[in-house]
Amino acid sequence: MRRLVYTLLLRAALPFVLLRLWWRGRREPGYREHVAERLGHYGAAPQRKLLWVHAVSVGEARAAAPLVRALQRELEGHDVLLTCMTAAGREAAHQVYGDSVLLAYLPYDFPGATRRFLGHFRPRLGVLMETEIWPNLLAACAAEGVPVVLANARMSEISARRYARWSALTRQALGGLGAVCAQSEADAARLRALGAAHVAVTGNLKFDVEPDARQLAEGRALKAALGGRRVLLLASTREGEEALLLDALPAPQPGVLVAVVPRHPQRFDEVARLLAQRGIATARRSRGEVPGPVHAAYLGDTMGEMALYYALADVAVIGGSFAPLGGQNLIEACAAGVPVVAGPHVFNFVEATRLALEAGAALQFAGASEALRAALQLIEDVARRARMGEAGVRLCEAHRGATERHLAACRELLRVTGPR
């Protein structure tokens, strides 16, 4: 009955959802493409057996890379279908995987659309990244005999309270999962309390993501071209944070370049205007501009180049953590050997932040002013920066191995269900 009510509410919202897609397509044309896929209608059916991985957006698409590569090596006779929900996620998946995977949008969670999706692709296994819990989709997978893994699963206290309000719905959905690979013991406990069975703590796949060597080299070359200037990176910033952080900066620092990399591509021009309004001379990556002596800022307005920006940085201030948005992935910075400074709101990365703080790879502050002061002090302290950067690299090395543990769970489900 609860699932019926949920479905009726979805149906009532559909016209507004489609209108929002069209509206978002003004700034991101990808939202106006492949709209039929969101209702479960696709082109030619695949010819080979499929393994299906769902990564809702950019972060999940990148985090899935070690597991996708492992599945491709392990099961050579299969194609991998990677589904997303956002246009930026689909673009990121194309950048990361190229033509090595099939790409599609996952349909909205209507019973008919999910049945059409499964009937078209007939996956042997489904892998949902992090917290993608869709009641009708999981019910359809159970009816079709498609085993599903919740991979790299996380469940913050805030999300757990939200899911608990719909316990009759979410308990059934979580209980139907074939395996849950949780990032931490705390995540596992919350997922079990919400109804998940077969839960194991497997670690965070993001520790297994290797920074792109070509981008690292290009970033270091760009840094060498700056003539000794230090770089303060505002990484993966979200709406409202750029103004907050820029206004919290003390007077312009001689010898310091501020690099700003917004999280979402539709905001690149907005952030460029914000910098111009403050009279900050800015070079833009998308135009191929190299920051010169006249530039106080460098706008990272490209997608898929975070490794380059981390290689350029001396200190990284992590976005999403200064507004109540849950933070962004700080593991990328640690893997590149860059000291991390974070704000108070890291509820989507609680475990990774805790580990980085304990390892001495990160600092955390309650507000933007304190964080920026500490970051600028750290830029001047070469020895401390080196210690923190080395601690971050060691942290990533110590916590690798989640991919193999996830792969073992996938193997077991494929063994139990057999060929399809």
Confidence of residue 386 (pLDDT cuts 50, 70, 90): very high
101-111 per-position pLDDT tens digit = 999 999 999 99
DSSP 206-271: GGGPPPPHHHHHHHHHHHHTTTT-EEEEEEEE-TTHHHHHHHHS-S--TTEEEEEEESSGGGHHHH
List all residues 6 or more positions away from 183 whose beta carbon is below 8 Å from its beta carbon.
Answer: 152, 153, 154, 201, 202, 203, 204, 351
The mean per-residue pLDDT over the stretch 323-334 comes to: 94
Choice among 22-36, 134-148, 235-249 with the minimum mean pLDDT: 22-36
154-190 per-position pLDDT tens digit = 998 888 998 998 888 889 899 999 999 999 999 999 9
Cβ atoms within 10 Å of 15's Cβ, excluding its own: 9
Integer Cα distance of 143 and 129 in angstroms: 21
- pLDDT score, position 26: 87
Domain ranges in the chain are 25-203+401-417, 213-398
CA torsion 204-206-209-214 (nearest 10°) is: -160
77-131 per-position pLDDT tens digit = 899 999 999 999 999 999 999 999 999 999 999 999 999 999 999 999 999 999 8
247-280 per-position pLDDT tens digit = 998 876 789 999 999 998 889 999 999 999 999 9
Integer Cα distance of 21 and 113 in angstroms: 17
Integer Cα distance of 336 and 320 in angstroms: 20
Q: Could you tell me if 197 and 175 are in contact, meaning their C-beta atoms sit under 8 angstroms apart?
A: yes
Which token pair is 63? 């985090």
Query: Do β-strands 49-54 and 78-84 pair in parallel, antiparallel, or remain unpaired?
Result: parallel
Rounded to 5°, angle at Cα 144 from 71 and 56: 50
Q: What's the CATH class of domain 25-203+401-417?
A: alpha beta
Q: Could you tell me if 259 and 309 are in contact, meaning their C-beta atoms sit under 8 angstroms apart?
A: yes
3-state secondary structure of 379: helix
- pLDDT score, position 256: 94
Choice among 45-49, 281-285, 306-310, 362-366 with the minimum mean pLDDT: 45-49
- pLDDT score, position 73: 92
Beta bridge partners of 83: 54, 104
Q: pLDDT over 90 for what percent of the chain?
A: 81
273-323 per-position pLDDT tens digit = 999 999 999 999 999 999 999 999 999 999 989 999 999 999 999 999 999
Phi and psi at 375, nearest 5°, equal -65, -40
DSSP character for 115?
A: H
Fold (topology level) of 213-398: Rossmann fold (3.40.50)
Confidence of residue 419 (pLDDT cuts 50, 70, 90): low
DSSP character for 32?
A: G
The mean per-residue pLDDT over the stretch 398-402 comes to: 95
DSSP 273-305: HHHHHTT--EEEGGGTPPP-TT-SEEE---SS-
Beta bridge partners of 82: 53, 103
Catalytic residues: 60
